[in-house]
Amino acid sequence: MDRTLELAMDLIRRPSVTPHDAGCQELIAKRLARSGFAIEHLRFGDVENVWARRGTASPLVVFAGHTDVVPPGPLETWTSDPFEPVVRDGRLYGRGAADMKSSIAAFVTAIEDIVAQASGHRGSIGVLLTSDEEGPAVDGTRRVVEWLTEHGVLIDYCVVGEPTSARTLGDTIKNGRRGSLSGRLVVNGIQGHVAYPHLASNPIHALAPALAELVATEWDRGNADFPATSFQASNVRAGTGAENVIPGRLELDFNFRFSTAVTDALLRRRVEETLDRHGVDYEIAWTLSGQPYLTPRGRLVQTARAAVSEVLGIETELSTTGGTSDGRFIAPTGAEVIELGPVNATIHKIDECVAVGDPARLALLYRSLLAKLLL
């Protein structure tokens, strides 16, 4: 069996549901230590993290990823045990196969090949692993980056192994991500009997016109690198469960995925101005999960595109679509950051899988990229 596939399967066997690591990082740390890496185990709160580095010179090329996975969901809906990897019909099945244990396995074997080929490579190689990417993302990469900054470590180039490919391995590289701003809105009313509306105040009715305006608003038109900012309501809660009671309170959760054409401060202001204009009695709590970031078409982007062309024989597209990733914590340090990983069609789904040959092909891709940067 190909050793990258074998390592990916070993990682899948460990049920590392957020925030648990289930021994994945220890397995990787031992492999990297054998290749001459200095290992730092960094625990923040309940989250296990690893920082590993080989060399002290610049440039510092870092592979970043997460060992945690989302819950598998109802086990009976899986064709096979989500934490017992299975190769079936040309695909590797298991929770984390695509997001992102195949990428981590490919990091490791690519690094092992480079070290075996040229133990005196230029610069340094780093690996940053967390078990908190699929969770709150508070004590994971965010905290490790703070620790690195405190210790004077500056990352030059970072490859995040998120599953970015759309149809076939390597067809899409993420060179940026939209920001994420969430709000929890509470609309206050007065509970009462539906037959006596003049004695009550219905928060659903109060919010409806304002919500319609928020949904219809053009927040920006995006730009050359980002699609237009999107507002989405995700949850709404009101009522006592009785059909004859006007509720006294409504809660609405919503989210902006926003481009660099707007700021989170502007979005907050426009939302609150809309609610005020409609006379809504409200309270709102904001959560900024990450600012948008963009890596220009510099050395890392061009090197990655060349590696895809060389190894896979295809041209890759640049994209900033999709959700957030831990790249949002690394990019503000000044590092060039890209995300490059497996096909994302089955991530977070039942029967998550990748093509059985993709872990090995991904390792070849990472090895080519490393060679171009450090050899």
Give the lowest-confidence range in 126-130, 287-291, 353-357.
Answer: 287-291
Cα Rg of the chain (Å, integer): 23
Domains of the chain, each with CATH number or no CATH? 3-177+292-374 (3.40.630.10), 179-290 (3.30.70.360)
**Candidate list 132, 133, 139, 225, residue with the active-site label:** 133
121 annotated binding-site participant: no
173-197: average pLDDT = 97
Mean pLDDT throughout 247-266?
Answer: 97
Residue 191 pLDDT: 98
Q: Which two tokens stand for residue 106?
A: 């490919």
Q: What is the pLDDT of residue 334?
A: 96
Is the pLDDT at 1 greater than 80? The verdict is no
Catalytic one of 21, 48, 68, 113? 68
d(Cα 124, Cα 120) in Å, to the nearest integer? 10
The yes-or-no verdict on residue 150 having pLDDT over 90 is yes
Helix (H/G/I), strand (E/B), else coil: 5: helix
Say yes or no to pLDDT of 98 above 80: yes
Which parts of the chain are beta strand (E)? 38-44, 47-54, 60-66, 86-88, 91-93, 124-130, 157-160, 172-174, 176-177, 179-188, 192-193, 230-238, 245-246, 249-258, 282-290, 293-294, 317-319, 336-339, 353-355
pLDDT at 120 over 90: no
178 — pLDDT class (breaks 50, 70, 90): very high
pLDDT band with cut points at 50, 70 and 90 for residue 37: very high
Residues 6+ apart with CB under 8 A from 248: 188, 189, 190, 191, 200, 203
CA distances from 142 to 175, 258, 287 (A): 19, 20, 15
For residue 118, name the pLDDT band (cuts at 50, 70, 90): confident
Sign of CA dihedral 121, 301, 58, 290: negative
Whether the pLDDT of residue 324 is over 90: the answer is no
Give yes or no: 68 in active site: yes
Burial class (CB in 10 A: 0-12, 13-18, 19+), 345: middle
Task: Check the annotation: does 272 bind a ligand.
Answer: no
99 is in an annotated binding site: yes
> Over 90: is that where the pLDDT of 322 sits?
no
pLDDT the model gives residue 323: 83
pTM score, whole prediction: 0.90
Residue 365 has pLDDT above 80, yes or no: yes
